[in-house]
C-alpha cells in the first residue's frame, strides 16, 4: 500500500492509526490477509509489524471504533483494590498484583483500563503522577508527571492520556504504547480549566468539559498531526456546546465519554444542587436525550466503551454504587463502595 512521504513524520501511534484505518477497510476482502505500507518503494515501520514489515488485517482489532461486545468486562476500584465484577452475580474478584489482591498502599484517585483489558493507566493520590500497571505486576511504571492530573484514558491505539490542570490553565499529557511522550500543542486550553475529557475512538477529536466559575460546558476540539518539525499533534478548533436550550437538565456538564464513533454520553444536571443524570447526545451536540435512571440517584461520572450495535456504559453515583446501562431508563446496580471503574472487552 503506497503512502505519501508525510507519513514518515508521524509518531508511532499515528502510523498505527493510519495502518488500522486502511486495514479495517481491506479486512472486508477475504483474499487480503496482510498489508505492507511503503513510501517510494521503501517499507514504512509500523509498530507490531512482522519481520517482513507486513501487518495482519486483524492486528488492530482493539483499536476499532466499532467494537461489538454484548457482555463487556466490568472492572472497578473498590475500597482501594482493583478487581473484576461478575456480570451475572456481581461478585467482586481482586486482580492479581500490586493494585489488586496485594494492594497495601495509597489508593489511586483516577484509573482507566485499555479497551481490550491489557493494562491500566493510573493517576496516584497526589494527582502528580501518571502510571501504567498490568495485572499481576508488583510495580507500576512512571509515564509522566504534572499538576492536578485528571482521571486518565487509554485511547484505542494504546496511548495513555490525562490533563494537567493548574488554576485556569490546562495542558494535555499523552504517552504512547512505546512509552514515548507525544508532543501536544493545545493553545486554546492555556487559559481554560478542563474538568473532564474523552478522546474519540477514531482519535480525530477530543470532547472536554470546561469550568468557568459556576458554569461547566461541553466543548469539542479536533486532533490533527503537526506539519514539519518534530512529530506531534495539534489540538485546536475549540467549539463550545451550550446544551441547556434543548433540555434544562443539560445546564451543567460533569463528565463525558464516547459511546460510538458519532455519539457521546454526558453526566449533566440542571443546577448545582440537583442530581446528575446521563444524557445521550450526537457528535455535534444535538439530539440531547435523557437515558435515566429515574430512581433519583446522583450520577457523578461515567466509563464508556464505544461499540457499533449498542451502548456499553458504567455510571458511578456519589454513594459509590456502579450502575450498568441496559436500556433507556433501565440501569442495574452491579457494585458498591467504588471510587473508580473501567469497562473493556
Domain definitions of the chain by residue range: 5-59, 73-344
Q: Could you tell me if 234 and 224 are in contact, meaning their C-beta atoms sit under 8 angstroms apart?
A: yes
pLDDT digits (tens, 9 = 90+) for 125-184: 999 999 999 999 999 999 999 999 999 999 999 999 999 999 999 999 999 877 789 999
Write out the three cell numbers for 290.
Answer: 435523557
* Measured distance CA(172)–CA(191) in Å, rounded: 13
CATH topology of domain 73-344: Neuraminidase (2.120.10)
For each of the chain's 345 residues, which pLDDT tens digit applies?
898 888 888 877 778 778 887 887 787 677 888 899 999 999 888 877 777 888 877 666 555 555 444 568 999 999 999 999 998 788 999 999 999 998 877 789 999 999 989 999 999 999 999 999 999 999 999 999 999 999 999 999 999 999 999 999 999 999 987 778 999 999 999 999 999 999 999 999 999 999 998 899 999 999 998 877 667 899 999 999 989 877 889 999 999 999 999 999 999 999 999 999 999 999 999 888 999 887 779 999 999 999 877 889 999 999 999 999 988 889 999 999 999 999 998
Degrees (nearest 5) of the Cα angle 10, 238, 9? 10
Q: Give residues with Cβ within 8 angstroms of 136, minimum separation 6.
A: 95, 96, 97
Is residue 31 packed enough to be buried (19+ CB in 10 Å), middle (13-18) or exposed (0-12)? exposed
Residue at grid coordinates 446528575:
276
Amino acid at each position: 500500500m503506497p503512502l505519501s512521504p508525510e507519513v514518515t513524520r508521524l509518531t508511532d501511534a499515528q502510523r498505527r492509526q493510519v495502518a488500522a484505518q486502511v486495514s479495517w477497510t481491506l479486512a472486508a476482502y477475504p483474499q487480503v490477509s496482510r498489508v505492507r505500507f511503503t513510501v517510494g518503494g521503501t517499507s514504512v515501520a509500523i509498530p507490531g509489524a512482522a519481520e517482513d514489515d507486513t501487518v495482519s488485517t486483524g492486528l488492530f482489532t482493539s483499536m476499532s471504533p466499532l467494537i461489538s461486545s454484548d457482555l463487556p468486562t466490568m472492572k472497578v476500584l473498590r475500597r482501594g483494590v482493583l478487581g473484576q465484577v461478575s456480570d451475572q452475580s456481581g461478585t467482586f474478584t481482586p486482580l492479581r498484583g500490586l493494585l489488586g489482591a496485594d494492594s497495601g498502599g495509597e489508593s489511586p484517585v483516577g484509573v482507566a483500563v485499555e479497551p481490550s483489558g491489557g493494562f491500566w493507566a493510573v493517576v496516584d493520590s497526589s494527582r502528580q503522577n501518571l502510571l501504567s500497571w498490568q495485572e499481576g505486576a508488583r510495580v507500576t511504571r512512571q509515564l509522566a508527571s504534572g499538576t492536578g492530573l485528571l482521571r486518565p484514558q487509554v485511547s484505542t491505539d494504546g496511548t495513555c492520556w490525562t490533563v494537567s490542570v493548574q488554576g485556569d490553565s490546562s495542558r494535555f499529557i499523552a504517552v504512547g504504547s512505546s512509552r514515548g511522550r507525544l508532543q501536544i500543542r493545545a493553545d486554546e486550553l492555556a487559559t481554560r480549566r478542563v474538568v473532564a475529557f474523552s478522546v474519540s475512538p477514531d482519535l480525530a477529536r477530543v470532547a472536554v468539559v470546561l469550568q468557568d466559575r459556576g458554569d461547566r460546558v461541553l466543548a469539542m476540539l479536533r486532533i490533527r498531526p503537526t506539519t514539519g518539525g518534530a512529530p506531534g499533534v495539534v489540538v485546536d478548533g475549540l467549539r463550545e456546546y451550550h446544551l441547556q436550550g434543548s433540555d434544562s437538565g443539560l445546564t451543567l456538564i460533569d463528565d463525558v465519554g464516547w459511546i460510538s464513533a458519532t455519539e457521546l454520553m454526558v453526566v449533566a444536571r440542571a443546577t448545582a444542587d440537583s442530581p446528575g443524570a446521563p444524557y445521550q447526545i450526537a457528535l455535534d451536540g444535538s439530539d440531547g436525550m435523557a437515558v435515566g435512571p429515574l430512581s433519583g440517584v446522583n450520577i457523578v461520572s461515567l466509563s464508556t466503551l464505544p461499540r457499533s450495535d449498542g451502548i456499553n456504559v458504567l455510571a458511578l453515583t456519589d454513594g459509590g454504587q456502579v450502575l450498568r446501562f441496559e436500556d433507556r431508563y433501565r440501569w442495574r446496580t452491579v457494585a458498591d463502595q467504588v471510587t473508580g471503574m473501567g469497562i473493556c472487552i
